[in-house]
Structure 1
Amino acid sequence: MKIGILQTGHAPDALLPDHGDYNDLFERLLGGHGFAFTTWSVVDDAFPDGPDDADGWLITGSRHGAYEPHPWIPPLEELIRDIHAAQKPLVGICFGHQIIAQALGGTVEKFPGGWSVGRQSYTLDNEHLHLNAWHQDQVTKLPPEARILGQSAFCENAVLAYGDHILTIQPHPEFDAAFTQGLITHRGGAVPADQLAQAQADLAHPTDSTRIAARIAAHLKQ
């Protein structure tokens, strides 16, 4: 099964030698499920011809805001709507979660409550789990078709679904402790020091990334 990764940002240069870029993180996260991956770096204006270029799709995170006036944002939103119309399986993570909501009629904003960084607690389908997060933007108004599957005390719309073919997740199941440490070191400048310290302290605790990876894989294979 061919999964098209729509890459909307790049990892910090200092992390590339040891961790690879965002598409590499997802290939590792979803390894062992029988997928073949092709990446289109849409942030660099490289787009597929359309929804049929892959069997399923995944949109990565990004340091950019979905509401920012980048020239690649409108064609990405159009592609999202085309994938939706074609009923292809689609997964969005962090920025991907946000841009899908925006493309389908929702609102994304810089959250006045600040940042969510490091290991966070979520409720998903009435179960508790922990995942690493790194965001200030949030989906603040749901699209008409969206339904909430998961949330946290900080993020009300943390996991969304649209029909049976779109699943979006605000936190980062692809971020392990080492990568999160790299973000603390290289992209922590805008985050309050006390939150960075807490994120650092929580690196020793496990997350439920494997469980979410299995759910993402099952969604893409439907």
Structure 2
Amino acid sequence: MKPPLRIAILECDTPPDELVAQFGRYGQVFRTLLEAAADNLGVSGFSKDDLKLSAYDVVTEQKYPELEEVDAVLISGSKHNSFDNDAWILKLVEFTEKLLKQDRVRTIGVCFGHQIIGRAAGAKVGRSEGGWEVAVLPVQLTEKGKEIFQQDTLSIHQMHRDVVFEYPEGVDALGGSPRCLVQAMYKKGKYITVQGHPEFHEAFVSHLVKMRNKQGIFNTAEAEDALSRAGQHHDGLPVAKAFLRFLLED
């Protein structure tokens, strides 16, 4: 795929108002990440100016790009359940199935988006018996994962208790963790996904953890544990660079 890369970001949720005021909606959050990755990719002549990014609210407005007008679709994370059958989720799954059946537009999935791609590809998705993964945690990479992310280890922000239980047919496993065996998937020329959040950072995650502690989603011990790891090194930028290399692959 040749630049410019026309990437449509499907916003499957909206951050809390305080985070929107600081960092924008998820379209802007991913723009910040992808532009930084483009400028650090090390590909001669390629920079953030070669990205043509657009955002679509698929929850409330339920708007989608025309496939002939984009080269890639990124499906964001969400507080919603990928296995639910709300009308907008079924519409998203149907759109994703359409993506997976064609061969030009490539797909990127992050957290909820990773699960939606899994569901659209026929894999089982649902609530993990292992419970939550929150804040910076290690992912054990496969040999293919080391190749794709161009490093031997991976640490990434997490914010989930739902998982993809199995790899769809024909997919390369990129990594796993004790509570989530399917952490990342790759299918050449089709899609790349991660269960974690490369777009998250300490301020973003700390706000979410404190908010969910007040809401009773995380107890105090869970919140304190997550906050103790929120500022640790994470590989969001290397993951985003892997996304871009995937899009630039022949």
**TM-score scaled by length of structure 1:** 0.94
1:166 paired residue number: 191
Name stretches of at least 5 consecutive residues in structure 2 with no aligned partner.
Answer: 39-49, 147-151
Q: Report the Cα offset of residue 140 of structure 1.
A: 1.2
2:41 paired residue number: none
Please list the CA deviations of residues 6-33 of structure 1 after superposition, one character each: whole Å capped at 9, or x if unmatched.
1111111221111211111110000152
2:33 paired residue number: 29
The answer on 1:15 being equivalent to 2:57 is no
> Structure 2 counterpart of 1:56, which letter?
A
2:78 paired residue number: 62
Q: Aligned with 2:59: secondary structure?
A: helix
Q: What root-mean-square deviation, in Å, do the aligned CA atoms of Structure 1 and Structure 2 show?
A: 1.6
Please list the CA deviations of residues 116-160 of structure 1 after superposition, one character each: whole Å capped at 9, or x if unmatched.
001100123252111110001001133223331111122100001
CA distance in 2, matches of 1:49, 1:113: 36
CA distance in 2, matches of 1:135, 1:118: 10
Which of 170, 173, 176 lines up with 1:145 in the alignment? Answer: 170
Contact 2:73 2:106 in 1 (8 A): yes
Runs of 4+ aligned structure 1 residues displaced above 3 Å come to none
Q: Aligned with 1:63: secondary structure?
A: coil
Which of 4, 21, 30 lines up with 2:8 in the alignment? Answer: 4
Which of 202, 205, 218 lines up with 1:191 in the alignment? Answer: 218
Percent identity, please: 28
Equivalent pairs counted in the alignment come to 222
Deviates more, 1:43-52 or 1:26-35: 43-52
> Structure 2 counterpart of 1:118, which letter?
A
Contact 1:145 1:163 in 2 (8 A): no
Contact 2:183 2:195 in 1 (8 A): yes
CA distance in 2, matches of 1:202, 1:49: 37
Contact 2:137 2:158 in 1 (8 A): yes
Larger radius of gyration: 2
Cα separation, partners in 2 of 1:84 and 1:4, compared to 1, 3 Å: same
Q: Report the Cα offset of residue 165 of structure 1.
A: 2.1
| Counterpart mapping for 1:82-97 below 5 A | 82-87=98-103, 88-97=105-114
Contact 1:109 1:138 in 2 (8 A): yes
Name stretches of at least 5 consecutive residues in structure 1 with no aligned partner.
Answer: none
**TM-score scaled by length of structure 2:** 0.84
Contact 2:27 2:54 in 1 (8 A): no
Q: Report the Cα offset of residue 73 of structure 1.
A: 1.5
1:214 paired residue number: 241
Contact 1:59 1:93 in 2 (8 A): yes
Which of 121, 128, 133 lines up with 1:104 in the alignment? Answer: 121
> Structure 1 counterpart of 2:248, which letter?
K
Q: Report the Cα offset of residue 49 of structure 1.
A: 5.1
Contact 2:131 2:179 in 1 (8 A): no
